[in-house]
Amino acid sequence: MFSDTHGGHKLGLLHPDTIIMEEGPDGEADEFTPALTATQRWLWECYQQDIESVRELAGNDAIVVVHNGDLTWGLKFPEGVVSFTPFGQTSIALWNMRPWLDLPNLRAMRFIHGTASHEFGQGSTSLAVAHELELLASASGLETNIGARRHSLLSIDWVSFDCAHHGPSAGMRQWTTGNQLRYYLKSLMNDEIVRHREPPRVTVRSHYHTYCRETVRIGTEYESDIVVTPAYCGMSHYAVQATRSAYLQGCGMVAFEIVDGRLRDIRPFVRTLDLRTEEAI
């Protein structure tokens, strides 16, 4: 599971072979391939490594891919935008997801609606990408279950996943990391328990571009994990402002290994880049 690829921005994920169409100066549609920035080259290398790690982990077992929101960048913050059209940004997002169709044991894909300003409102990008991937999979003879949801309660081989884009942050201070996740998850679990329902085994949230995981146990009967997924997106000037000059850039995805109907392991394929410039004067 991963999120926040933000296709359409010069710091977002970009497939090197992406082809998009936009109106040229003569009014006719022109095809072009955007040039990758240094950040995008690094992101794509990480992304390819992580897909390979998932493939190796799964072996011949089925793979379910969940993109947990913000496939595109949108137009609310236009600085650094590669394409200024919803069609162009959606095309970039589609190209970013296409490598997963090369995995013969891909069982399903789910696209969770992200932030409205990033996905052109009402989950437009996730709905469009899911539809186009479904057509590509069908044309290739793949029997893959592909769809888009605002908030999904997935059951994968009897293990339940509550997937939505927005949720708690990992924390504002290093020594408070995870506190909000535990409070959030405990409340969610209690909401289910008082309704005589089993809490989800895993809750997945995104949006904050930082990987974090916490476990909550209520008595001896209930245990749940919450994971905030990292991003495949660099640190824009707006992000620097919003995070009060955070300098550690996380990147990656999280794999959940399910064996015999039970969650065996949670494996983060995550790395961190220090964005500060070292200099001696």
> What was the pLDDT predicted at 127?
98
CATH assignment of 20-274, among 3.30.70.100, 3.40.50.970, 3.10.20.30, 3.60.21.10:
3.60.21.10
Distance CA 152, CA 172 (A): 28
Query: What ranges make up the beta strands (E) of the chain?
Result: 20-23, 29-32, 63-67, 106-112, 145-149, 152-156, 159-163, 202-205, 212-218, 222-228, 248-259, 262-274
Question: In this predicted structure, what is the pLDDT of residue 207?
Answer: 95
Q: What is the pLDDT of residue 105?
A: 96
Collapsing DSSP to helix, strand or coil, 69 comes out as: coil
The 106-112 sheet, strands edge to edge = 63-67, 106-112, 145-149
DSSP state of 187: H
Residue 129, pLDDT score: 98
Tell me the CA end-to-end span of the chain in Å, nearest whole number: 43
Low-confidence ranges of the chain (pLDDT < 50): none
- Encode pLDDT of 134-156 as tens digits: 999 999 999 999 999 999 999 99
Q: Do residues 64 and 107 touch, judged by C-beta distance below 8 A? A: yes
What are the residue boundaries of the structural domains of the chain, listed by start? Answer: 20-274
* Whole-model pTM over 0.85: yes
pLDDT of residue 240: 82
